[in-house]
């Protein structure tokens, strides 16, 4: 289901949509037999992407090299 949210982000101009509209589109694009867990997972993914975009706008992001170093630190390599 997360793939659905990912494609929504690639296919649309987010600046033209409110958060509510984006959430409704994500829900509408799910298969008819989706349960509440699928819906929550989809919305959680969208919230995470939105939060990450906001962090980057505030200059709190990191380069891919920094992310790789942090990941190596976390996994102990």
* Tens-digit pLDDT profile for residues 4-14: 555 555 555 66
3-state secondary structure 23-71: HHHHHHCCCCCCCHHHHHHHHHHHHHHHHHHHHHHCCCCCCHHHHHHHH
* Tens-digit pLDDT profile for residues 13-67: 666 788 899 899 889 989 999 999 999 999 998 888 888 888 888 988 888 898 8
Domain positions in the chain: 2-75
Contacts of 56 (CB under 8 A, 6+ apart): none
Residue that is written with structure tokens 């600046």 in the block = 15
* pTM attached to this predicted model: 0.64
* Tens-digit pLDDT profile for residues 18-27: 889 989 988 9
Q: How much is the pLDDT for 69?
A: 92
């Amino acid at each position: 289901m997360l793939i659905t949210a990912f494609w929504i982000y690639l296919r649309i101009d987010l600046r033209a949509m409110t958060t509510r509209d984006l959430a409704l589109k994500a829900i509408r694009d799910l298969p008819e037999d989706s349960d509440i867990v699928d819906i929550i997972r989809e919305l959680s993914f969208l919230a995470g992407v939105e939060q990450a975009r906001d962090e980057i706008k505030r200059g709190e992001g990191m380069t891919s090299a920094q992310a790789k170093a942090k990941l190596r630190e976390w996994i102990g390599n």
